[in-house]
Structure 1
Amino acid sequence: MTKIKSSFVAKTFLVCFVSVHVPLIALVAYLSMGFQLSTLSVFLLILVATLVGTSLCLFAIWRLIRPLNLLADAMKRYPEDKGILKMYPASPDEIGTVTDIARSMLLQVETLTKQLKHQATTDFLTGLGNRRALMEQMPIIRAKAARPEEAVSLILFDLDHFKRINDEYGHDAGDNVLMAIGEAVKDHLRPYDYAARMGGEEFCIVLPGADLAAAETVAERLRHAVESRVVEPLPKGRITGSFGVAQARPTERLQELLLRADAALYSAKDQGRNVVVRAQP
């Protein structure tokens, strides 16, 4: 019995065998009850028994292949509905095995997709987002802030004379500096802020719900945190950053906001570096 339950072929054969013999079973039962035979009665009996057997066969086959239909429907809906990941084998036969394998493979695909997306949107040195991630997250942040009409501000900064650090102390020391700055940025983020390394030694922080004055305060705290970081063999105070702060206008695109913050950053460099400068209105 266990072998029959675990074999789709065996169950199909059993259903077909029983269904085909329904007319014979009906005829034997008819005769055993002592009814008299006539051509018409035998014809009607065989006809009805055949219809019953066919109906039972179709119903049983439908029940057997229903899990396969459910699997096919779940596979079709998979891009929009991940319900197949919650499916479990409906039976221990081949269809149940296929369902289990399909579910396991898709779980692996989901895990791999998440890993690849994380790698594609995360800076491997600092653990912050990268430029691509910022481009994806900024419209979402702006949309959330637009509903309660909250301000959104942006801090753009880069490390002063970073190329000299690489030249004087080596690229390993430069990487250690970037990782230290990444930790400093994380320490000053609120749960709903977003930070990204834009490339090289340039970083960007998006502050939902913060106006220009609040963003400037955050930037000043971060400037002190950067200045106080010590990464051997660099002396204390060797690591500094120049900061540009800008508040997003209601219809301003990200590139325009970055340009204004970038202009403020270069103004900070012109003012001697290691300072925070507001973007021009």
Structure 2
Amino acid sequence: MAAGNHCTVTEFFLVGLSEKPELQLPLFLFFTGIYLITVAGNLGMITLIGLSSHLHTPMYFFLSSLSFIDFCQSTVVTPKMLVSFLTKENIISYTGCMAQLYFVITFGVAECYTLAAMAYDRYVAICNPLLYNVTMSYQIYSSLISVVYIYAVFCASVNTGFMFRTQFCKLDVINHYFCDLLPLLKIASSNTYISEILILFFAALNSFVPVLTIITSYISIIATILCIHSREGKFKAFSTCSSHISAVAIFYGSGAFTYLQPSSLNSKGQAKVSSVFYTTVVPMLNPLIYSLRNKDVSIALKKILERKKFM
């Protein structure tokens, strides 16, 4: 019997991303490729930053943290999704479902605020370069990322805790490819009003605060860039901003589209497609957007490869 339940639901059946038999193998191969790129890109970035002493700066500290979050988020969701493409009945235990939900929320919230911290770091670097070493000291940026993880765990604990109080008696089929809040609420047999209010509250809070931080930071950044006389300097700065904003728009857009609406209006296809972006596509793209186009990272990678050649 599941904890917090008066019913006998001990496992759930995940419908998966698609129920069409002819799409199962192509989707399996496609998402396997995405997952391998995600793992290689994010773990490679963490390793590269760790081995390269000149990358031991606040900006790359945040990049390393973001890579860790993306790797974990993808690993929590993607392997189970790949199983659904190969099996007729993709079963997950009640405890496993709640654990997956807990970590999905934790890493999702952590990514929201890490992106905001990165925007703030760029704001300080561009708008107040003389005070950068003081404002973004080791104590400050390590404290920032610590608060991000602590708050993410708090959000996950509250939402998952209320989900444990929800009863599942009649239906045990989750029309999704992983255990997410809204699909679980749709099959609940008890009153879910408080849980839905909590979801809307945390979704609004975790969108508004980071987005406001990002927008405020970039308004100041753009104003500073416009005062730069060098065309090359302006182009380089704007290029960096556009890459960051693109990733932010994809992540926040897909997340808000999924969570910032009542569950009754969230259609099956919309939820799955938007979830794919922030659980699988964004974790793959982030190493490319933030790192592989960065000259410092390219130089660090070349140095490590040259070092191996002479060993």
TM-score for both structures, normalised by structure 2: 0.19
Structure with greater proportional strand content: 1
Structure with the greater relative contact order (CA < 8 A, sep ≥ 6): 1 or 2? Answer: 2
TM-score for both structures, normalised by structure 1: 0.20
Structure with greater proportional helix content: 2
